Amino acid sequence: MAIRTFIAVEMSEAVRTKLATLIGRLRHAGADAKWVAAQNIHLTLKFLGDVDEAKMADVERIVAASVAGIAPFEFEVRGTGGFPDLRRPRVIFAEGHDPNGSLAELHRRLDKAFVELGVQAEGREFRPHLTLARVRSPRNLKALVEALPKFAEEAFGTQAVSELAVMRSDLKPEGPTYTKLAAVKLPG
């Protein structure tokens, strides 16, 4: 059986609460978007896609090898943005600011290491972010795009990172359900 899998940094209750408040404020724009449930807010370091259940021990081993030498650290969640840009965004997000580059280094290592399991490397620059919504259509998008700059410098909290989570994603009509399959501690 295949398990839809990703590697993530889970967010604290405090950060998720502040981002849920932001989502509530942005919903008022009336854009046709699928908003992320507060309990699902996280920072994805590597999306693996469908992984054979028999290979889940390999997933945990690869994550453990990838965190070697990276001590626990913190990053700030601040500001908002959109992918691919703010003119016609398909994804609305809060930004992760990591001046030491630990998130980018973890992503780089995971991206390279998971090629071993047949997961294609991303081939694009990693930009730490927490997805808040996926835009479904252009309906009322202009109002949402005009609201986002108001939160461009707003701070949503600092997140400590002492472990990475191997997550399972089950897609359902009412939205995805995420389940932590394993936690891999950062050394130190």
Kindly list the catalytic residues: 42, 129
DSSP assignments along 90-106, one per residue? SEEEEEEE-TT-HHHHH
Cα angle 46, 175, 40 (rounded to 5 degrees) comes to 50
Cα angle 12, 18, 20 (rounded to 5 degrees) comes to 100
DSSP assignments along 48-92, one per residue? EEEEEGGGHHHHHHHHHHHTTT---EEEEEEEEEEES-SSS-SEE
Is the Cβ–Cβ distance between 102 and 52 less than 8 Å?
A: no
Residue type, 98: D
* The CA-based dihedral angle spanning residues 102, 168, 81, 155, taken in that order and rounded to the nearest 10 degrees: -60
Q: Which is nearest to 129 in space by CA: 11, 43, 58, 54?
A: 43
